[in-house]
């Protein structure tokens, strides 16, 4: 298992990318998913050590630059309760576009659609947001925070996703943000086939971290370091 910096005791998986080659994608078990830009290990910036993962892209209407985990050692161990932690540096946040930095997903109970639990942001230059969306049903739901993700500095973000009660929690630099602690439903939905309910998958099977946006925006320039994933809180220290 790659190292993961501080706070990784008891985690299922940790990675600080120090063993990866600069200029190449992060190594297994990571998989890279992009439709714009690149996901590469970089020695240009790091939270700790000498390397991080650099995600860059353009101004496309829709742009994705994710690195993903599926299968061992994270799944199926974390299928019901998925905690995570990463350090993230976003050079500049969009003023109004909707964006995602953390996504966990899995199939519905009847396997007719996939459910996405997301944290990212929208509006006012970076307000954090919980988001629920599905593939196979028409639904897109939100819950906004008054807190913004800091730009041009390293931040520690932590998350917890649970299939029990469709619960999501988020911490920024060690402090929980209760206004995006979601249990079963959020502030509103559009295109809603599920009547406002944030219905959890029967089990999470993929975790994606990185950057995805859904409207025209400026280029994304993001670094990620010290990722830890487990079935209990990993913590920033």
**Distance between CA 41 and CA 30 in Å, rounded?**
12
Residue 1 has pLDDT above 50, yes or no: no
In a domain, 61, yes or no: yes
Q: What phi and psi values does residue 17 have, to the nearest 5 degrees?
A: 70, 10
In a domain, 68, yes or no: yes
**Distance between CA 210 and CA 208 in Å, rounded?**
7
pLDDT in tens, 27-64: 999 999 998 778 999 999 999 899 999 998 776 777 88
By residue range, what is the domain housing residue 217? 13-230
In a domain, 8, yes or no: no
What percent of the chain stands above pLDDT 70? 94
- Judge if pTM exceeds 0.85: yes
pLDDT for 78 equals 97
In a domain, 94, yes or no: yes
In the structure encoding, which two tokens stand for residue 224, read together?
């990620």
The number of beta carbons lying within 10 Å of the beta carbon of residue 131 is: 26
What's the CATH number where 18 sits?
Answer: 2.60.120.200
> What's the structural domain count of the chain?
1
**Distance between CA 214 and CA 98 in Å, rounded?**
6
Q: What phi and psi values does residue 13 have, to the nearest 5 degrees?
A: -155, 135
If you search the block for the tokens 């990866």, which residue do you land on?
20
In a domain, 237, yes or no: no
pLDDT in tens, 189-199: 988 889 999 99
Under the banding of pLDDT at 50, 70 and 90, the label for residue 3 is low
């Amino acid at each position: 298992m790659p190292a993961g910096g501080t706070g990784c005791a008891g985690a299922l998986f940790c990675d600080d990318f120090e063993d990866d080659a600069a200029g190449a994608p992060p190594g297994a078990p990571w998989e890279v998913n992009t439709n714009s830009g690149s996901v590469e290990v970089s020695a240009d910036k790091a939270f700790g050590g000498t390397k991080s993962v650099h995600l860059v892209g353009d101004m496309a209407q829709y742009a994705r630059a994710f690195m993903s985990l599926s299968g061992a050692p994270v799944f199926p161990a974390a299928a019901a309760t998925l905690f995570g932690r990463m350090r993230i540096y976003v050079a500049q946040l969009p003023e109004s576009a909707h964006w995602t930095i953390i996504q966990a997903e899995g199939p519905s109970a009847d396997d007719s659609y996939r459910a996405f639990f997301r944290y990212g942001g929208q509006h006012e230059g970076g307000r954090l947001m919980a988001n629920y969306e599905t593939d196979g049903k028409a639904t897109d739901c939100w819950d906004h925070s008054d807190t913004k993700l800091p730009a041009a500095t390293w931040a520690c973000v932590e998350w917890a996703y649970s299939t029990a009660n469709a619960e999501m929690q988020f911490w920024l630099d060690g402090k929980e943000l209760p206004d995006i602690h979601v249990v079963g439903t959020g502030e509103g939905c559009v295109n809603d086939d599920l009547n406002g309910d944030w219905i959890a998958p029967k089990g999470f099977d993929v975790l994606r971290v990185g950057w995805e946006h859904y409207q025209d925006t400026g280029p994304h320039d993001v670094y990620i370091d010290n990722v830890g994933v487990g079935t209990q809180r990993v913590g920033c220290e």
